[in-house]
């Protein structure tokens, strides 16, 4: 518990560093928000006026200071494009991406765990070859191509699923599932490839251990050995990889969101960078950083459940 608190507190310097880096990088980009927002039709006076209003003429330190000050008052600022509060923008766009992240991960697990275990249980056989081949496909097939193919087949040709049209889960779960099932599968399939390899190699490592040989000798069924004994011990690298995969998804789903026209968080960030909407980018990156930190903490906590020898706190001997 003490360690958990320490972990949370030590996240703060990380967040500070991230925010300073993002802030600096944004200001290094050529072009200013007013030009990006007002476009090439704008008069120089309109651009100057907007830049002034957005505070672009203040020294950078002052701009950063203003932002941090607002942050401590629970205010992420307003979008430079149309003044929408950044918190509102993020709240609108985060649920879709979170849902996609979780769903894609579930799909990945459903594919990776059974195929990884089977491969490890029957190394070198046709089962292993088939599972490895599927994993190769997952790694090689670009997920945007897979997504487009699925749309063409299921939406255009068969008319079974919509080509787009995100509806939030709370509004209409059925319509939501219809819209999200294809992007979840397209993304999840690719993720499953990496996971499957991890499961397989980790299991193979574990299978050679003495305690496995003991379990077999004791007469336990293959399933009991695999799932009961080996899998649990093999999970640590898998959990680590999973954590990294999930953490990367929050900002990494831009292409999927674009193809399936999902109003997601990744797309919000990319669009904001192109529009030089500094406040939205800063607020979003902060959220991503927080998310990654939380995921890592959860992964660490999970370790202790998987392997009781691992403790969060240092024990007094």
Partner 1 sequence: MIRKTQFIIFFMVLLCLLVSGCGSQKTSQNEWDGTLKISLRADPPRLDPCYSAAVVDRFVFQGLFDKLVDLDSTGKIVPMLAESWDISSDGLVYTLHLRHDVKFHDGTDFNADAVVFNINEGRKKESNRKSELTFVNDVKALNDDTVQITLKKPFSPFMSVLTDRAGMIRSPEAVKKYGVDFARHPVGTGPFVFVDRLKGDSITLEKNPNYWGKGDKAPKAQRIIYKIIEDPNIALVNLKSGQIDFADYLPFNQIESYKTDPVFTVSDEPTLGFSGFYLNIKKDTFADTRVRKAIELLIDRDAIVKVALSGVATPGRTAYAPMSFAWTDFDKPHKPDIAQARQLLQEAGKDQGLSFSICTDTNPINGTLVQMLQKMMRDGGIDMQIEKYDFGTLLAKGKKGSFDALMVSWSGRIDPDQNIYTWLYSDSSNNYCKYNNPEFDQILDEARVSLDMDKRKALYSQASEILDRDIPYVFLYHAHNLYGMRRDVKGYVPSPDGMVKPVSMYKSTD
> Smallest distance, Å, CB 107 to partner 1?
10
Task: Name the β-bridge partners of 85.
Answer: 78
272 burial level (CB within 10 Å; 0-12, 13-18, 19+): buried
Closer CB to partner 1, 265 or 303, in the complex:
265
End-to-end CA distance of the chain: 18
Closer CB to partner 1, 41 or 315, in the complex:
41
Closer CB to partner 1, 255 or 290, in the complex:
255
> Smallest distance, Å, CB 162 to partner 1?
6
Nearest to 195 by CA among 72, 107, 314: 107
The rounded distance, in Å, linking the Cα atoms of 59 and 53 is 14
- Residues found near partner 1 in the complex (CB under 8 A): 29-32, 35-46, 49-50, 53, 81-84, 89, 92-93, 110, 114, 148, 151-152, 155-156, 159-166, 174-175, 177-178, 181, 223-224, 227-228, 258-259, 261, 263, 267-268, 271, 274-276
> Smallest distance, Å, CB 296 to partner 1?
27
Neighbours of 113 (CB within 10 A): 18
> Smallest distance, Å, CB 147 to partner 1?
10
Closer CB to partner 1, 198 or 226, in the complex:
226
Structure tokens that stand for 97 in this block: 């991406």
> Smallest distance, Å, CB 231 to partner 1?
10
Nearest to 306 by CA among 234, 224, 255, 247: 234
Closer CB to partner 1, 35 or 201, in the complex:
35
| Dihedral in degrees, nearest 10, Cα atoms 150, 156, 159, 165 | 80
């Amino acid at each position: 518990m003490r360690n958990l608190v320490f972990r949370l507190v030590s996240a703060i310097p990380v967040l500070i560093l991230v925010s300073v880096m993002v802030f600096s990088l944004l200001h290094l980009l050529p072009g200013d928000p007013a030009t990006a927002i007002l476009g090439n039709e704008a008069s120089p006076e309109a651009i100057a006026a907007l830049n002034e209003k957005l505070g672009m003429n203040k020294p950078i330190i002052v701009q950063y200071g203003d932002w941090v000050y607002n942050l401590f008052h629970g205010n992420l600022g307003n979008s430079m494009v149309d003044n929408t509060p950044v918190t509102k923008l993020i709240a609108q766009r985060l649920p879709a991406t979170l849902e996609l992240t979780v769903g894609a991960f579930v799909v990945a697990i459903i594919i990776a765990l059974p195929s990884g275990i089977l491969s490890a249980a029957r190394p070198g056989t046709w089962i292993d070859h088939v599972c490895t081949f599927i994993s190769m496909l997952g790694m090689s097939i670009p997920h945007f191509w897979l997504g487009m193919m699925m749309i063409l087949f299921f939406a255009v040709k068969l008319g079974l699923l919509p080509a787009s049209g995100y509806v939030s889960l709370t509004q209409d779960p059925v319509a939501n599932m219809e819209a999200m099932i294809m992007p979840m599968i397209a993304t999840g399939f690719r993720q499953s490839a990496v996971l499957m390899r991890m499961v397989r190699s980790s299991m193979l490592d574990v299978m050679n251990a003495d305690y496995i040989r003991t379990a077999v000798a004791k007469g336990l069924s293959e399933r009991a050995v695999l799932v009961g004994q080996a899998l649990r011990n093999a999970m640590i690298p898998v959990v680590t990889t999973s954590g990294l995969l999930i953490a990367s998804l929050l900002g990494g789903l831009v292409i999927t969101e674009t193809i399936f026209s999902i109003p997601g968080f990744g797309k919000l960030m990319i669009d904001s960078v192109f529009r030089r909407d500094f406040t939205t980018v800063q607020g979003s990156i902060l959220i991503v950083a927080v998310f990654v930190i939380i995921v890592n903490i959860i992964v660490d906590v999970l370790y202790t459940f998987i392997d009781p020898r691992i403790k969060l706190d240092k024990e007094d001997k």
